Copies of this chain bind each other. A is one copy, B any other.
Amino acid sequence: MSYNILVAHGGGPTAVINSSLCGLIQAAKESGQVNKIFAARYGAEGILKNDLIELSNVSDSMIERLMNTPASAIGSCRRKLTEEDYPAVMECLKKNDIKAFFYNGGNDSMDTCNKINLISLKEGLDIRVVGIPKTIDNDLDITDHSPGYGSAARYAAISSAELALDAAALPIHVVVMELMGRNAGWITAAGAMASRLTGCNQLVYLPEQPVDMDKMLEDIENMYAKGKGLLVTVSEGLKGPNGKMLADTGIVDGFGHSVAGGTAEYISKQIMTELNIKSRSEKPGLLGRTSIPYRSQIDIEEAYRVGRSAFDYANSGLSGVMVAIRADRRGRYKSEMFPAKLSDVANVEKIFPVEWIDRGKIHDEFFNYVTPLIGENLPVYCDFKMY
């Protein structure tokens, strides 16, 4: 039996989402059971418009390039499907004789995926629906972590270490760095690796713990007074005591989430005006999810395996599941994939444990969790005992 498959991406890309796509396509080709491999152009938008790209005949070498291509090679969107959209979705699946549908995304996408599966079951269609996890924010539940997170964490860790060394080498200002994560501090916490890798002064603030600006400025002033420079690492979604983002743009995205912006710049200005200390802010923003050179090798490999597993699950008859990762941190890090029910994953947000944060510092539990995900070959810098 030979059948057609469809894959779509939802939400923001990660540095390894194309690796999952590569794994899925290669597993499908190798199975010898797939006729046509379709990708929805720009995610749900492509499904709704029946705008598909056929990837079955793309050369193996071009597919292999997915492993080193940032963003999403098939496009994505932030459109959250509504009840009225589902008939068009099912129409597209039926029209193209799709027997396995793969949706690569985060919480919202898993919810969509779950609904498509329920409709298929209700309509008695023989379509297997499998979710492929992906989010730099690491806020998907059940899975130990999500592909994409390890690379975003490595970006945060190493670029923060580099910036901490710059701030220490030329200690003329407090450098404030903003990292992604509207509600979940997983990425920003990884930025706390900077002081561990360099010995430089650093303070870290996550969205899970609202900050008291006076205390924050007091801590900044005291640490900068040591004369060796200071890196302050903050989440884009950092909140004040009132629970509102420090730097709310007032803009709401397609999923109804508020858009954060300029948190580092806001704090940097506070440092200049309130403490009379020179400060500058850096906001790599999307670079943290799109950078190829900073990726974690573990993350690339897991993303690829998750893509392969997704195909294998569907091909073996599973449906209504998301590929999840079980991690083993005893000894050398290992992981294995297992199917998690989409209904258990959909719309649950895994937040960063607040007990791991303490006034600008992150506890060891987090580093035990994140270090293997960031991957090996952490940099070892020259150290003349300056800092």
A interface with B by C-beta (< 8 Å): 12-13, 18, 39, 41-42, 53, 55, 58, 62-63, 65-66, 68-78, 158-159, 162-163, 165-172, 175, 251, 253-254, 259, 261-262, 265, 272, 278, 280-287, 289-294, 379-384, 386
- Whether the Cβ atoms of A71 and B290 lie closer than 8 Å is no
Q: How far is the CA of A243 from the CA of B170 in the complex (A)?
A: 29
Residues of B within 8 A of A158 (CB): 292-293
- Whether the Cβ atoms of B384 and A169 lie closer than 8 Å is no
Closest 3 CB pairs of A and B: A293-B293, A282-B285, A65-B382
Known interface pairs A65-B380, A163-B290, A165-B70. Does A77 touch B170 (Cβ–Cβ under 8 Å)?
yes
Chain A interface helix/strand/loop/mixed = loop
- Whether the Cβ atoms of B280 and A169 lie closer than 8 Å is no
Q: How far is the CA of A281 from the CA of B251 in the complex (A)?
A: 14
Known: A74-B384, A280-B285. 20 other contacts (CB 8 A): A13-B169, A62-B383, A62-B384, A65-B381, A66-B382, A69-B165, A69-B382, A70-B381, A72-B170, A73-B384, A74-B386, A75-B169, A77-B170, A77-B172, A163-B286, A163-B290, A167-B286, A253-B278, A261-B280, A284-B284
Q: How far is the CA of A352 from the CA of B73 in the complex (A)?
A: 35
Q: How far is the CA of A225 from the CA of B63 in the complex (A)?
A: 30
- Whether the Cβ atoms of A165 and B290 lie closer than 8 Å is yes
Residues of B within 8 A of A168 (CB): 71, 75
Oligomer: number of copies: 2
Q: How far is the CA of A18 from the CA of B272 in the complex (A)?
A: 30
Residues of B within 8 A of A265 (CB): 261-262, 265
Q: How far is the CA of A289 from the CA of B294 in the complex (A)?
A: 15
Residues of B within 8 A of A13 (CB): 166, 169-170
Residues of B within 8 A of A169 (CB): 13, 71-73, 75-76
Distance of A148 from chain B, by nearest CB (Å): 13
- Whether the Cβ atoms of B282 and A170 lie closer than 8 Å is no
Distance of A244 from chain B, by nearest CB (Å): 19
Distance of A117 from chain B, by nearest CB (Å): 25
Q: How far is the CA of A13 from the CA of B290 in the complex (A)?
A: 25
Return 29 A-B CB contacts under 8 Å, by A number.
A13-B170, A55-B384, A62-B382, A62-B383, A65-B381, A65-B382, A68-B379, A68-B381, A70-B165, A71-B168, A71-B170, A72-B170, A73-B169, A73-B381, A75-B171, A76-B170, A78-B172, A158-B292, A159-B287, A159-B291, A163-B286, A166-B286, A166-B289, A259-B280, A280-B285, A281-B285, A282-B283, A282-B285, A282-B286
